[in-house]
Amino acid sequence: MKIAPVMRELAAHPGLEQALLHTGQHYDEAMSKVFFEELDLPQPEINLSVGSASHAVQTATIMMKFEPVLLERKPDWILVPGDVNSTLACALVAAKLGVKVAHLEAGLRSRDRTMPEEINRILTDQLSDLLLTPSGDADENLRAEGIPADKIHCVGNVMIDTLVRLLPKARARWETLRQRHQLHRFILLTLHRPSNVDDPARLRTLLNLVEVISRECPVLFPIHPRTRARLADTPLPDTIQLTEPLGYLDFLALQEKAQLVITDSGGIQEETTYLGTPCLTLRANTERPITLTEGTNQLIADPETMLIDAARQTLAAGRPTPPHCPALWDGQASRRIREVFARLC
């Protein structure tokens, strides 16, 4: 969702060549192939096929496989998005080889260093020559960490570029989805973070709470492969409907139509803010605080004491009208990124 609009824009820049490299960190066929197809992304020229492993092993494997690529290709820049292990691994290799690094979605901070993603964000920003931020709070974070102002460019949220472009296609799928899942008034649920799904007791507690909420509003639960593996022997009530992982378009359609989204995802906090869909995030913190101050998001730090009441209150209040969007969440972030590179290249 982040790379597709940027590649489309950079393709229009005269004399600029680009190549797409896929590390294979997100390797599940159902979670990867469909996104390339729906987002009109070209097939990667290079796939490192690293697969799953511990944080250390996965990061090291990416570095070992990425270094020969850089030595052979000799690019002027690499562009790394987000905060996954691939982001840091590729940025570190490039920095040590003297290749300039641009970090897309730079400057986001949760202030929680127990999250691997926070470590990846902080280190990648320190290694980067160009920091492309989604919002003003990210700029403030970078300045506070001593990043020179001339490296920071607030371009807006590229996730929203993809959402704006593909929302009409997503809406065209709604009627089929509604009939397939027999939807009327429903809550959309996603769970995948290790802190929520790796501990069986924690996961069971969360699902028990969702079961109570589902008696008042049915829940649709597209289940992440990581979570399904931990639910193999756990029956769920009829009011929680499991589905296989969904493609981007189907999931976007469901987000727009849901009465409420309950999640632990980062990107969904942004998408629901744009769509005006209330969102309850099962985390104690977020690297996207703008979704709390200017969006529809609410943190549920202690689900056992907060989740049921927050869900009931949100369902009773309904959706905000009209939805409010942060500045530069306008579908034009990738154009601004192209303009930045046009000045640099």
Q: What is the pLDDT of residues 34-86, one digit of tens each?
A: 888 899 899 999 999 998 889 999 999 999 999 999 999 999 999 999 999 99
Alpha helices in 39-184 (DSSP H): 55-73, 85-97, 116-127, 136-144, 158-172, 174-181
Q: What is the pLDDT of residue 88?
A: 98
Residue in 178, 165, 179 with CA at minimum distance from that of residue 248: 165
Residue in 50, 126, 132, 60 with CA at minimum distance from that of residue 95: 126
Q: What is the pLDDT of residue 31?
A: 61
* Rounded Cα gap, residues 87 and 104, in angstroms: 10
* CATH 3.40.50.2000 at 3-157+328-344, yes or no: yes
Q: Please, what's the b/e burial string for 242-251 (b: 16 or more CB within 10 A of its CB; e: otherwise)?
A: eeebbbbbbb
C-alpha separations of 76 from 64, 68, 113, 150 in Å = 20, 15, 32, 19
Could you tell me where in the chain the CATH 3.40.50.2000 domains are found?
3-157+328-344, 167-317
pLDDT digits (tens, 9 = 90+) for 220-259: 999 987 788 888 767 788 999 999 989 999 999 999 999 9
Q: What is the pLDDT of residue 27?
A: 60
Residue in 191, 202, 175, 172 with CA at minimum distance from that of residue 261: 191
253's tokens: 């359609």
Residues in the chain: 345
* Rounded Cα gap, residues 163 and 273, in angstroms: 12
Q: Which residue has the tokens 């397939």?
A: 180
Q: Do residues 48 and 31 make contact, with C-beta atoms less than 8 angstroms apart?
A: no
* Rounded Cα gap, residues 148 and 1, in angstroms: 28
Q: What is the pLDDT of residue 30?
A: 58
Q: What is the pLDDT of residue 166?
A: 97
14's tokens: 């005269």
Strands 21-22, 46-47: parallel, antiparallel or unpaired by DSSP?
A: parallel
153 is catalytic: no
The CATH H-level (homologous superfamily) assignment of domain 167-317 is Glycogen Phosphorylase B; (3.40.50.2000)
Q: Indicate left, alpha or beta for 209 from its phi (over 0: left) and psi (-120 to 50: alpha).
A: alpha
Which residue among the candidates 55, 103, 192, 224 is catalytic per the annotation?
A: 192
Regions of the chain with pLDDT less than 70: 26-31, 233
Q: What is the pLDDT of residue 181?
A: 96
Inter-axis angle of helices 85-97 and 55-73, to 10 degrees?
A: 40
* Rounded Cα gap, residues 345 and 213, in angstroms: 53
Q: Which residue has the tokens 């250390």?
A: 56
Q: Hey, what amino acid is at 267? A: G
* Rounded Cα gap, residues 262 and 296, in angstroms: 12
Q: What is the pLDDT of residue 25?
A: 79
